[in-house]
Amino acid sequence: MNEYGYFRVAAGVPRVRPSDIRYNTHGITELYRRAAAEGAAVLVTPELVVTAYTCADLLLQSALLDGVGKALAELAEQTRGSRTMLVAGAPLRKGNALFNTAVVMAGGRILGVVPKSYIPNYNEFYEKRWFASPTADDNGKLQLGGEMIPFGTDLLFDKGGSKVGIEICEDLWVPAPPSGRLALAGADVILNLSATDENIGKHAYLRELIRQQSARCRCAYIYASAGIGESSTDLVFSGNAIIAENGRVLAESPRFRPEALYECVDIDVESLRNDRMKFNTFSDNSRSADTSVRTVDAGNGSGAKGLLRHIDPHPFVPADDSRLRERCEEILHIQAWGLMQRLSATGCRKVTIGISGGLDSTLALLVAVKAFNMLHLDRKGIVAITMPGLATSQRTHSNAWKLMELLEMTPVEIPIGKAVDQHFSDIGQNPQSHDATYENSQARERTQILMDMANKTGGMVVGTGDLSELALGWCTYNGDQMSMYGVNASVPKTLVKYLVSHYAATECRPDIAGVLADIVDTPISPELVPAASDTEIAQKTEDLVGPYELHDFFLYHMLRHGFAPRKIYHIACIAFKGVYDRTTVKKWLTTFYRRFFSQQFKRSAMPDGPKVGSICLSPRGDWRMPSDASSALWLSSLDDCDATEDEEDGK
């Protein structure tokens, strides 16, 4: 595990020939050299790879088993002088029984042997014809190559501070896989040496099984399954090298290829451990389970350079179009369902929403329409109020009116200019001083109108502010920060435009879609400071507080994974290479921490709103923080980040 908590792993599937141990050993060695050259801490290969899985009754021949011992000694020697741990499948005798095992080698030695726990004897698999099922009494040591080697299903291997556990093929398919117990005992990484044949629909099931087990165990799951060269007498083995982490497949080899297969990627062990600590049911489960293990020292980590891992610059926005559509649809339903439930519980049949012609208020309005449709309520109950002020542009004002009219609700226009001027006079504010008082007075005047109109109509105020604004405190306390239900409260800014675009594409007429498209293209602005003309927008939010794509990235990794500033800076520089230089990333990360800490008091008083994703700042749920907490520790750690250090590429 390196300084940022990454642990490089590899899964390899060599070409094999049944019972041709020399040929198979050569194939394993070639993959091992590749893994070692890439700085992998561990390479896992398939089940019984030394002999090939499909040897059948040849597995009981002494000539074959004697050859296995010699091959393992040769493979162990290959690891001498290397920091990469090799795990290879082989049949091994212990006492009067033959076991299907994973043999762990590093530093020129065999470190341990893990037998397969569950031996299948059904359908096409009749392994009990050859192999014994291990019992607790078998846990101990095995004589191999003149040494007594740790043997058993209770072994963990400590590789440079990361803990590695092993199970074999069928072990994953049982109701309580050994990997569950090993993860509860501290395994960060689970290796699976497998020989899974192909049949209709099985691969999709297998892939989901691996993904789910990595999520359930909050671990990395490294899977290598038999491929080219295995006998096709009755079965076909296509080869699989799959690496999953906490419910996500990070790397996956193509199937049905004539060459050896290989995948290598960096696992984020720090993220996994933070998750286990954060979701306390994991530790509760570990205290109630049998987690007695023996730990074998497997040497130092690999010292891998660079980063073999894709860092998504937009973690809230799926890159795949189909997944993005699915996510947008689900979020819109969650938002609308939450508002529908609040309307039903309070007996309200009307809502008031401030419509600016910007993205956030547009999304809130669309959610209200969806909720009213669910309740079969007349849309006239949506009192949409546009409140042009001292800096409202013609573009946003026009779009607000078009949207309200086309959606057939109750449109209202209440200009705030005179009221704000009177307020300035009352408090002695110079109208030419465009300071915080100038800006916040407008925001609070709009909120007062919305609240009073809600009282007048017997409705509730639907808030429009989003997650990113709450994180930065980019909202006016008791102004746009306040509402009676905030439907956008856990929707990040980088996702809002996709939600509006999705609604435009799926749920409205072309004329409405055209207005929504222009709103999506409008620069983000609070429009509180006048421009040179009413067709321009003077304030562009991202010029003032920084790019939202950066802030959403910072927010995600701080809250979801608990990463320290130094790591967030490191991965942001990789994710946004070619977009922002390191100095720019550091500047806005510093701004993020300063604002996040200083603006907590606004989040402490935020109204109710539905949680839609993994990140939420509700003080009643996901995020509880003192409003006077100091950011000094976080900011001082950024001082150690050198903005001129060499960049490292992600995969």
Active-site residues: which are they?
47, 116, 169
CB-based burial of residue 74 (10 Å sphere; 0-12 exposed, 13-18 middle, 19+ buried)? middle
C-alpha distances in Å from residue 102, one per residue of 116, 140, 152, 223: 8, 15, 10, 13
Q: What is the 3-state secondary structure (H, E, C) of 363-430?
A: HHHHHHHHHHHHCCCCHHHEEEEECCCCCCCHHHHHHHHHHHHHCCCEEEECCCHHHHHHHHHHHCCC
| Angle in degrees, 0-180, between the axes of helices 359-374 and 321-346, rounded to the nearest 10 | 60
C-alpha distances in Å from residue 201, one per residue of 110, 205, 212: 38, 7, 17
Q: What is the rounded CA–CA span in Å between residue 491 and residue 467?
A: 5
| Angle in degrees, 0-180, between the axes of helices 548-559 and 565-575, rounded to the nearest 10 | 140
Contacts of 648 (CB under 8 A, 6+ apart): 305, 306, 307, 570, 574
Question: Would you say how long the chain is, in residues?
Answer: 651
Q: What is the rounded CA–CA span in Å between residue 87 and residue 106?
A: 9
Q: What is the rounded CA–CA span in Å between residue 554 and residue 597?
A: 13
Cα angle for residues 137, 101, 108 (degrees, 5° grid): 110
Supply 188's token pair: 């960060």
Q: What is the rounded CA–CA span in Å between residue 58 and residue 40?
A: 34
Q: What is the rounded CA–CA span in Å between residue 195 and residue 631?
A: 52
- Amino acid letter at 545? V
Q: For the residues of 105-132, what is the DSSP string, one character each? A: EETTEEEEEEE-S---EETTEEGGGT-P
410 strand-pairing partners: 383
Q: What is the rounded CA–CA span in Å between residue 341 and residue 506?
A: 23
